[in-house]
A and B are shown apart, each in its own frame.
Chain A
Amino acid sequence: MSDCRIQLTINGQQTSVEAPPMKRLLDVLREDLDLTGTKEGCGEGECGSCSVRMNGELVNSCMVPILQAHGAHIETVESLAIDAELHPLQKAFLECGGAQCGICTPGMLMAATHLIAHNPNPSLEQIREGLAGNLCRCTGFIKIFDSVITAAAMEGSRTHAR
């Protein structure tokens, strides 16, 4: 199949890429746009390490053909910090030990951002549910839960989560 031209907005910036229509959004981000913060853990929609937000929804970018992202707004982990200022979730993950090997962290942060955007003060149960699609093999999740609770309590997390 020949390449198609796709217009999309990535982290607030309009871009266009030429790619095979079935190329995964994950690969376009990593290979065409050099946004390697988004990771591949399984390629089958199970681990969530490729999580990004697309038009305000949380998606596994390994399951999205780029054709489907035409005209979409995409947010990746690279969008979280503003200039040198870490997002409250990033601060909390650092302080609480929510990142160990760090490979699940970008996806986990996007899932947590999505959760907090919809529910600024999630209960532990809601956090468990909100992160159920994101696997972490290092932390046993406990410090990730702590991180999300801490971030939610931090001032500004509400306004910062876009």
Chain B
Amino acid sequence: MTDDSTNPAQRRVVGTPQIRKEGAEKVLGRAKYVDDIEFPGMWHGATVRSTIPRGRILAIHFDESVPWHEFVIVTAADIPGNNHIQMIAADQPCLADGAVNHCDEPILLIAHPDKRLLPQAVASVRIDYEELPAVLSIEESESKREIIWGADTSTPNVFKEFVLQKGNVDEAWSSAACIVEGEYSTGAQEHLYIENNGMIADYSDDGGITVWGSLQCPFYVHKSLMAVFNLPEDKVRVIQTETGGAFGGKEDYPSIIASHAALLALKARRPIKMIYDRMEDLAATTKRHPSRTRHRTAVDKDGKLLAMEIEIATDGGAYSTLSSTVLSRATLHATGPYVCPNIRIRSRAWATNTVPYGAFRGFGAPQTIFAIERHMEHIALAVGMDPVELRRRNFLHDGDTTATQQIMREPVILDQLLDRALAVSDFYAKRERYARENATNPVKCGIGIAAFYHGSGFTGSGERRLNSLAGVDVTLQGKVRVLVSSTEFGQGTNTILAQIAAEALGISYDDVEMAPSDTHLIPNSGPTVASRTSMVVGHLIQRSGRQLIQTLKEAANLSDNYTRHDFFAACELLRARDGEVKSLSRYEAPPNIYWNDDTYTGEAYPAFAWAVYVAEVAVDTITYSAEVIDFHTVQEVGTVLNPTLAAGQIEGGVAQGIGYALYEKVQLKNGHMFNNQMTNYIMPTAQDVPPIHVYFEQIPFAYGAFGAKGIGELPHDGPAPAILNAIQNATGESFSAIPLLPEDIFLRFASYGLDPENITA
């Protein structure tokens, strides 16, 4: 049996629409999410948070109307280890100690057996502050009137800076036929997973700390708890419960809430459950980084890009958290899928006194792809060229080099994707028809396009540093188990990894299950982020499977044409010899991968997923609402492991992208989100999503599982620019900021003093 063929004809399990592993439990309502779990003697925890964006804590008063002796109260003084959340740097306190740097910053924790008494108790803690001037925007941070972070560094208020150079930009301006400038901005975005953040913790002197909760990255939480509690590895145990959506929002935040629940558990000496309600989750947890990107581009008379100067600024919030890596991905996606000989990108992540921004599907890429794909539209207008044609002329091809000097070694089929997108959406015919009909219709329709790539896996040397370990074992009950720390939160990890294992081992999908997501039982296959699970972790499972078959052939005489029965019989022979049946593989970088972190040159990503998206919109010039009426997606993500799940990823990502563009606005006052309710933070509903058409081209990637590349983040990158390009096509109006709400459209029309009836495309 071949186990690693990239030839689809030889596959049985990979590429088929297998039913989601944990699907039956979910549709039966039996899947256990963290709030569904109860322990005897369990109490409930809550958080007292800062009400000001920046200041010193002078005193904490406990209102006497509350019977405080019934409560357990934890402050920074109760932390046995380091008072910080272990992320890339260690600047974020676990609990504020003497000073606060953003609204909703945790200051103290309380627990009580009756959760209904907690809100009143939280409200009965009064904190006196000496307020300090707050920095609430990128511009205020840039002005450096207040230094709120890194006062002792050469770049105060800056979490991270990248400068990326290719060719010589300065010499290119003089030869340009045209120089086009533009500024683009994107707002914060809330993940709005339907299950809020939540965690249960318990402590015992023998076992140390155990937490159960909703999370993406068990070993991130593990590492953080070790630091906060000053405990060795084996005294911290992290168990993932069924997780009701994450999208990056449960990448870093669970380390905080797990630490909090565990601090209460340590002091109360009993299990503690902490579940945020929607208002607290919206106000206190991470969001997508707001951004501002400036472009200055030189083009020749034929529309060829001669030079690109790009300046990126992101708002990182009060602590550095993941801002540097988000900025890295933003930087590496800023030029779009285009080739240009001269490039200079300068990017910075700025500190502000707002809740730290964090990981969200796309991780910086949606921000800068929005900018470049709007900017291409402006360049097309400036040179008088069809925006589709302008893109085609500048597409990357095999053998071209990117901004980091990475040579495109794998096939790049952007032309093919574009052709297919134009054909399936009937682009030109529709554009013509809309233009004709708009002249007499108060509802203006338009069509727009976006082309983009998304790098799969960690950036640069990231995967080598992660050094992931994953594999399979065989239980006494005759089941193959997948051993990974990669988690399921809706995207299909369980299913695709089981498919890969079944394919590699030549057994059926039903013979494979997932090992429990428990740090005591699983190897560290890295975090479940960065579109790395299919490609990187899946490949480790494939290799482990192949390795196990090899061992069984050598040690247990497994024949070449083995049956399922032969396989499990051979496993038992191996178990008799070795005591276990287990096969693990460690990450090995594909050959020819070179990356220089200082100059930011080399192979930024081992592989890229590519896409062309087409949006159609209807803009009502009476109500000023913009609606997406049809959406076509064409993408190349390597091998599609499970067509149902893959299409589901694209559709879900597009819907979130539509929300990002047209609906979802995080409204801040003093850095506090004041529309922190689902009533006021609006995501697309069943009535707002258009038909979403999904098409895949498949070019197997030699170093991904059965040829797979990353898929999860890609679909969030394209919708926003495609939609605003379509709105420009519909109305003739160019908008450069998202979210674009009806009031923004109204303001634009009103500012011209125009009667909307007279506006034609």
Q: Which residues of A contact B (CB under 8 A)?
A: 30, 36-44, 46-47, 49, 76-78, 80-81, 86, 90, 93-97, 99-106, 109, 127-129, 131-132, 134-145
Q: Are A44 and B678 in contact (CB under 8 A)?
A: yes
Contacts of B692 in A (CB 8 A): 140, 142
22 A–B contact pairs at CB < 8 A? Answer: A30-B35, A30-B36, A36-B36, A41-B196, A43-B278, A44-B278, A77-B29, A81-B28, A97-B20, A99-B26, A100-B245, A100-B490, A101-B245, A102-B31, A103-B194, A103-B195, A103-B245, A132-B686, A137-B245, A139-B652, A140-B651, A140-B654
Q: Are B27 and A137 in contact (CB under 8 A)?
A: no
With contact pairs A102-B31, A137-B245 given, residues A44 and B687 touching in the complex (Cβ less than 8 Å): no
Q: Are B678 and A47 in contact (CB under 8 A)?
A: yes
- Report the separation of the CA atoms of residues A124 and B35 in the bound assembly, to the nearest whole angstrom: 34
A99 → chain B closest CB, angstroms: 5
Name the one of B23, B651, B685 contacting A94, with C-beta atoms under 8 angstroms.
B23
Query: Is B436 close to A, CB under 8 A?
Result: no
Name the one of A76, A94, A97 contacting B647, with C-beta atoms under 8 angstroms.
A97
With contact pairs A40-B35, A97-B645, A102-B31 given, residues A138 and B686 touching in the complex (Cβ less than 8 Å): no
Name the one of A46, A137, A144 contacting B677, with C-beta atoms under 8 angstroms.
A46
With contact pairs A42-B678, A101-B245 given, residues A129 and B27 touching in the complex (Cβ less than 8 Å): no
Known contacts A93-B27, A135-B194; 11 additional CB pairs below 8 A are A39-B244, A44-B278, A49-B194, A86-B28, A94-B20, A95-B19, A102-B26, A102-B27, A137-B652, A139-B648, A139-B651
Of chain A, the residue at the smallest CB distance from B685 is A132
Of chain A, the residue at the smallest CB distance from B246 is A101
- Report the separation of the CA atoms of residues A136 and B490 in the bound assembly, to the nearest whole angstrom: 11
Q: Are A96 and B644 in contact (CB under 8 A)?
A: yes
Q: Chain B 687-712 against A: per-residue CB contact (8 Å), 1 yes, 0 no?
A: 10101100000000000000000000
With contact pairs A44-B677, A132-B687 given, residues A137 and B194 touching in the complex (Cβ less than 8 Å): yes
Query: Is B193 close to A, CB under 8 A?
Result: yes
With contact pairs A140-B654, A140-B692 given, residues A101 and B194 touching in the complex (Cβ less than 8 Å): yes
A101 → chain B closest CB, angstroms: 3
With contact pairs A46-B679, A97-B645, A137-B193 given, residues A142 and B689 touching in the complex (Cβ less than 8 Å): yes
Q: Are A137 and B683 in contact (CB under 8 A)?
A: yes
Of chain B, the residue at the smallest CB distance from A145 is B686
Q: Are B247 and A137 in contact (CB under 8 A)?
A: yes
Q: Chain B 25-59 against A: per-residue CB contact (8 Å), 1 yes, 0 no?
A: 11111111101100000000000000000000000
Q: Are B656 and A90 in contact (CB under 8 A)?
A: no
Of chain B, the residue at the smallest CB distance from A104 is B194
Q: Chain B 506-518 against A: per-residue CB contact (8 Å), 1 yes, 0 no?
A: 0000000000000
- Report the separation of the CA atoms of residues A99 and B26 in the bound assembly, to the nearest whole angstrom: 7
Q: Are A102 and B689 in contact (CB under 8 A)?
A: no
A29 → chain B closest CB, angstroms: 11
Query: Is B496 close to A, CB under 8 A?
Result: no
Query: Is B163 close to A, CB under 8 A?
Result: no
Q: Are A99 and B27 in contact (CB under 8 A)?
A: yes
Q: Which residues of B contact A (CB under 8 A)?
A: 17, 19-20, 22-33, 35-36, 191-196, 242-247, 277-278, 489-492, 644-645, 647-648, 651-656, 677-679, 683-687, 689, 691-692
Q: Are A140 and B689 in contact (CB under 8 A)?
A: yes
Of chain B, the residue at the smallest CB distance from A139 is B652
Q: Are A36 and B32 in contact (CB under 8 A)?
A: yes
Q: Are A138 and B652 in contact (CB under 8 A)?
A: yes
A123 → chain B closest CB, angstroms: 13
Contacts of A90 in B (CB 8 A): 27-28
- Report the separation of the CA atoms of residues A103 and B36 in the bound assembly, to the nearest whole angstrom: 11
Contacts of A145 in B (CB 8 A): 686
B285 → chain A closest CB, angstroms: 14
Centre residue among B277, B685, B686, B691 by max chain A CB count within 10 A: B686
Q: Are A143 and B278 in contact (CB under 8 A)?
A: no
Name the one of B31, B246, B278, B655 contacting A141, with C-beta atoms under 8 angstroms.
B655
- Report the separation of the CA atoms of residues A60 and B701 in the bound assembly, to the nearest whole angstrom: 47
A107 → chain B closest CB, angstroms: 9
Contacts of B684 in A (CB 8 A): 140
Name the one of A41, A78, A100 contacting B492, with C-beta atoms under 8 angstroms.
A100
Centre residue among A49, A78, A86, A104 by max chain B CB count within 10 A: A104
- Report the separation of the CA atoms of residues A42 and B32 in the bound assembly, to the nearest whole angstrom: 18
Contacts of A41 in B (CB 8 A): 194-196, 278, 678
With contact pairs A93-B27, A142-B692 given, residues A100 and B491 touching in the complex (Cβ less than 8 Å): yes
With contact pairs A97-B647, A101-B490 given, residues A141 and B242 touching in the complex (Cβ less than 8 Å): no
Q: Please name the 5 residue pairs, one residue from A and one from B, whose CB atoms are nearest each other, closest first.
A: A37-B29, A103-B244, A101-B490, A102-B26, A140-B655
Q: Are A100 and B29 in contact (CB under 8 A)?
A: no
Q: Are A42 and B683 in contact (CB under 8 A)?
A: no
Contacts of A40 in B (CB 8 A): 35
- Report the separation of the CA atoms of residues A43 and B691 in the bound assembly, to the nearest whole angstrom: 30
Centre residue among A47, A95, A97 by max chain B CB count within 10 A: A97
- Report the separation of the CA atoms of residues A123 and B654 in the bound assembly, to the nearest whole angstrom: 23
Name the one of B35, B244, B685 contacting A101, with C-beta atoms under 8 angstroms.
B244
- Report the separation of the CA atoms of residues A137 and B664 in the bound assembly, to the nearest whole angstrom: 13
Name the one of A47, A77, A129 contacting B28, with C-beta atoms under 8 angstroms.
A77
Q: Are B26 and A105 in contact (CB under 8 A)?
A: yes
